[in-house]
A and B are shown apart, each in its own frame.
Chain A
Amino acid sequence: AQSVTQPDIHITVSEGASLELRCNYSYGATPYLFWYVQSPGQGLQLLLKYFSGDTLVQGIKGFEAEFKRSQSSFNLRKPSVHWSDAAEYFCVFLMFSGGYNKLIFGAGTRLAVHP
């Protein structure tokens, strides 16, 4: 079945530490993948997206993600976390089915940042 999985429900890091959020997908072809962030009381914001080409994509707020076909992964990284990065992060997969296309969201990873 086509799906996207985020293995970590909660992650806590110290401010200034590096961050990696995991995402695995299941799809027969090259997927369209996104990372979105949802801050408390706010809507979702697109961090970055991968459609094709360079497997390392840069996003906003200093985030990057690497597409690895061999591992079916699209992990999100940031070299140094800021307290304002505390939020929920969603890995999202664009599914094509029956003439429709729709975004499939992972369960999300809630990030807490310790000062």
Chain B
Amino acid sequence: KAGVTQTPRYLIKTRGQQVTLSCSPISGHRSVSWYQQTPGQGLQFLFEYFSETQRNKGNFPGRFSGRQFSNSRSEMNVSTLELGDSALYLCASSLTSGGNNEQFFGPGTRLTVL
């Protein structure tokens, strides 16, 4: 069974631009969660989608948004990029919603904002 895939693996953007990241979960998994990892703040939860609905959310500004499609694939969008948005963005999939289910992580998308 294929693991969680994320595209693209690397991105370079400039301040003010927007970016869309994609995550394909493990087949059969219906929950996708997104995390931001930075050296200063560590790993922080962004949001979780299950059955095309946002179920959980972290403490990030509205510039960070996401969606999930009927095939469970998920996209994350960041608008009006700031230098501080440079990070590794990880997505994780699980069978059902709720953090108590094992989450399988993808390799991440490294976003650099110049």
Contact = CB atoms under 8 A, between A and B. Distances in A.
Contacts of A102: 45, 48, 56-58, 99
A43 B58 contact: no
Given A44-B92, A94-B99, A104 B45 contact: yes
B105 interface: yes
B76 interface: no
B66 interface: no
B4 A103 contact: no
Interface of B: 3-4, 33, 35, 42-45, 48, 55-58, 90, 92, 98-100, 102-108
Contacts of B56: 100-102
B66 to A, nearest CB: 14
Given A43-B105, A43-B106, A44-B92, A101 B44 contact: no
Contacts of A51: 100
Contacts, number: 49
Contact of A43 (B55, B98, B108): B108
A46 B48 contact: no
Contacts of B103: 46, 103
Contact of A107 (B42, B48, B57): B42
B106 to A, nearest CB: 5
Contacts of A101: 56, 98-100
Nearest to B91: A43
A104 B90 CA distance: 14
A103 B102 CA distance: 11
B102 A43 contact: no
B99 A41 contact: no
Interface string A78-107: 000000000000100010000011111111
A104 B100 CA distance: 12
A7 B54 CA distance: 33
Give the residue among A42, A100, A107 with the most B Cβ atoms within 10 A: A100
A45 B100 CA distance: 15
